[in-house]
Amino acid sequence: MDTKQIKALIEENEVQAIDLKYCGLDGKWYHITFPARRLDFVLEHGVPFDGSSIPGMRDVESGDMVLMPDLATAAIDPFYETSTLRLICSICDAETRIGVKKDPRSVAHRAHEYLLSTGIADNSTWIPELEFHLFDGMETSSDSFSSGYNITSCESKDALPEDWDDGDNMSRQDIKAYHADTPFDRFYEIRQEMVDLMEDMGIKIRYHHHEVGISSQQEIETELLAFPKICDDAMVMKDIIRRTALENGVTATFMPKPVYNHAGNGMHFHMMLHKKGKNVFYKKGGYADLSKEALWFIGGILKHGRALVAFTNPSTNSFKRLLPGFEAPVKLFFGLANRSAAIRIPKYGNTEATKRFEFRTGDATCNPYLAMSALLMAGLDGIKHKIDPTKHNMGPFDDNVFAWSEEKKATLLSIPANLEEAMQALREDHAFLLEGGVFNEELIESHIKMKLAEYKAVNDRPHPYEMALYYNL
């Protein structure tokens, strides 16, 4: 949209307020709102703010930053009672109005520019698979003398809300719920409401369904959408999911492992590269009809996989999902239709138009801008250095590696065991991220510092289950 179209949209919808959204290093959206009459001024000058107050962004002595809105992201916010226009912003230097090095959105745009500069491709498309839970209630407590949580779910007999009358006996127990039909799939209408809002905002949805977890685990998956806009779209999708859930009296979480011993929430990333309209990853006759560029791209992601996890799985809870037996890949290899692989080549994607692969390790606690940019940079590094995964014992393996002997499994490269290990891996392997000035040392060090503080905060606290194990020893 241009300014004229924005003003027409404002007039048509009687917009009173304009809401600027921007993303911090922590992957959360922040916002600031101004009267619609100030649009021209803001478009020219931006909105100044204190960057030192946003986690990981800047020190107090150099905090002044400016939000510059992107008119292409304009949309009427469907949740506010006041008619409000939403614009997504980049965080820019107060003097130059150029996206700062630690602005996640600017990182994604620099990654796209770097892709173009390589000549490898002129377009990149992605599918993020968003998995999440819808719970009826969630209560937490944490202080020096108590710690715990209580989740309720009307779909699970083990977690029914106190006032829930399971007279229809539709709550279930000890079974998987993949593609479960109504009436057991109690939140179909809520999911459809979410999808309708996403479609209204131009985010094309491939499908949605109930996932494996019996305690109301859901999935919404997009069609192939262009990078870097897909990063904005992922933020919009998460926002719609949370706010639609709240409006319907439930709560949504993207936590990778909210329920012990049940299926966890991943965020699989499908990816493709295109050049002059042709799929760079397709070559008839090779393994899974993959081109040499595709294999090198895969090789780059797998080689840098331990460091990538620092961005694709950046929470202490991430590593409670990444366990054998839950279709959550813990070994860095690739294979055709292999759900135990970190990179899976879908068997149904068997034409030039559909040939792609997915990185299955990630989860939605990630910052979409940083995670997808890091994956792209790793893949491009693989093509640049012709990293052949087959020469590094990274596949292709088409059998279930969880069934291998322990000795054989030990020959495969593993992802880090926890968040601390992931940050150490990033510290040791991040030169590929610095190419083209896409990431920089300050951003990487700030991310590591922020995440290690989270790791320490969790690790230093007594765990409720430790009371059961050790209280009476």
What is the CA angle 201-204-209, rounded to 5? 110
Rounded to a whole number of angstroms, the distance between the first and last alpha carbons of the chain is 67
Give yes or no for a contact between 417 and 324, defined as CB atoms under 8 angstroms apart: no
**Range list of β-strands (E), 170-235:** 205-210, 217-222, 225-226
Tracing tokens 């469907």 back to the chain, one arrives at 78
Angle between the N-to-C axes of helices 104-118 and 368-384, in degrees from 0 to 180, rounded to the nearest 10: 20
DSSP letter (8 states) at residue 6: H
* Structure token pair of residue 369: 């801008």
**Range list of β-strands (E), 94-215:** 123-135, 137-142, 147-152, 205-210
Q: Write down the pLDDT at residue 14.
A: 97
Q: Low-confidence residues of the chain, pLDDT below 70?
A: 58-63, 325-327
Pairing mode of beta strands 225-226, 123-135: antiparallel
pLDDT digits (tens, 9 = 90+) for 357-376: 999 999 999 999 999 999 99
Grouping H, G, I as helix, E, B as strand and the rest as coil, residue 266 is: coil
Q: Write down the pLDDT at residue 116.
A: 98
List, as own/partner pairs, every contact residues 88-93 make where C-beta atoms lie below 8 angstroms and the sequence separation is at least 24, other chains included: 88/20, 88/21, 88/22, 88/232, 88/235, 89/20, 89/21, 89/22, 89/47, 90/22, 91/22, 91/51, 91/57, 91/65, 91/66, 91/67, 92/46, 92/65, 92/66, 92/67, 92/68, 93/65, 93/66
Based on C-alpha coordinates, what's the Rg of the chain? 23
Going along the chain from its start, the domains and CATH numbers come out as 3-100 (3.10.20.70), 123-470 (3.30.590.10)
Helix (H) or strand (E) segment spanning residue 44: helix 39-45
Q: Write down the pLDDT at residue 172.
A: 85
Dist. CA 336–CA 341, nearest whole Å: 9
pLDDT digits (tens, 9 = 90+) for 429-456: 999 999 999 999 999 999 999 999 999 9
Positions marked active-site: 50, 129, 131, 211, 219, 268, 339, 358, 360
Dihedral of the alpha carbons of 372, 376, 379, 385, in degrees to the nearest 10: -140
Grouping H, G, I as helix, E, B as strand and the rest as coil, residue 69 is: strand
* Structure token pair of residue 47: 């909105």
